[in-house]
Chain A
């Protein structure tokens, strides 16, 4: 369970990092990539380690990871588009 505790601490740290970036008033464009990357990393931890989909046979892991990548990718595109 040391791995689960480590993952939990990473999730907390990445959440604090994203929150800190927003609280520090980093402009939207500069904050977009780090916050989305932190969210992607957090989502992958939940999917692979908490949902325990890593190493599971079949397409479930890739379907859920694909959902996360697609949603975050399109959110990033929409926010980038809004700045232009």
Chain B
């Protein structure tokens, strides 16, 4: 899993740097387009992913002590945060699409929509992984002596969070 996570980080890193250096060619366009974004939505989404990661940490701690039910509850809480993130992101994207904005509108929106959708799909995959882990935990499939699956799912979810922690200031805040 860590090789997979590292590969994901490298891909996101290349996209982030492509955005940052593409911006140097047309700073005014990037700044003007960035002002059209819903910064508050990005802020709430950051809080949601951070909280989701925290709940996953609690889930790992609970299963480490053999508390399968409590682990399940924290995993469900983390997935609720992920689901809220996805809903907010869909609202954000649909608003842009209704305004006639697409990836071909300009270079900034190509990155905003491309990176946003790429990360969105990673949150979806993270939810699928956490869902599978939750189901197994709910069925009592993990024990204090055997919970590697929970840790693996947690590592992926934290990677999705880590990427968003860089993406949020890059796309929404810095100008």
Whether chains A and B associate is yes
Q: Are B50 and A15 in contact (CB under 8 A)?
A: yes
Looking at chain B's contact residues, the main secondary structure is: helix
Chain B interface size, as a band, is 35 or more
How does the 8 Å CB contact mask read for B156-173 relative to A, with 1 for contact and 0 for none? 001101100110111011
Q: Are A43 and B166 in contact (CB under 8 A)?
A: yes
Give B63 Cβ to nearest chain A Cβ, in Å: 13
Q: In the complex where A15-B46, A18-B169, A22-B173 touch, is A78 in contact with B158 (Cβ < 8 A)?
A: no
In the complex, the chain A residue whose C-beta lies closest to that of B161 is A46
B127 within 8 A of A: no
Residues of A within 8 A of B165 (CB): 39, 42-43, 46
- Docked CA distance A64–B50 (Å): 18
Q: Are B43 and A74 in contact (CB under 8 A)?
A: no
Give B53 Cβ to nearest chain A Cβ, in Å: 5
Binds A, one of B12-20, B103-111, B130-138: B12-20
Which of B13, B50, B174, B175 contacts A11 (CB under 8 A)? B50
Q: Given A4-B54, A31-B173, 5 more contacts at CB 8 Å?
A: A8-B54, A15-B46, A18-B168, A22-B172, A39-B169
Chain A positions within 8 Å of B, measured between CB atoms, are 1, 4-5, 7-8, 11-12, 15-16, 18-19, 21-23, 28, 31-32, 35-36, 38-39, 42-43, 46-47, 49-51, 60, 63-64, 67-68, 70-72, 74-75, 78-79, 81-83
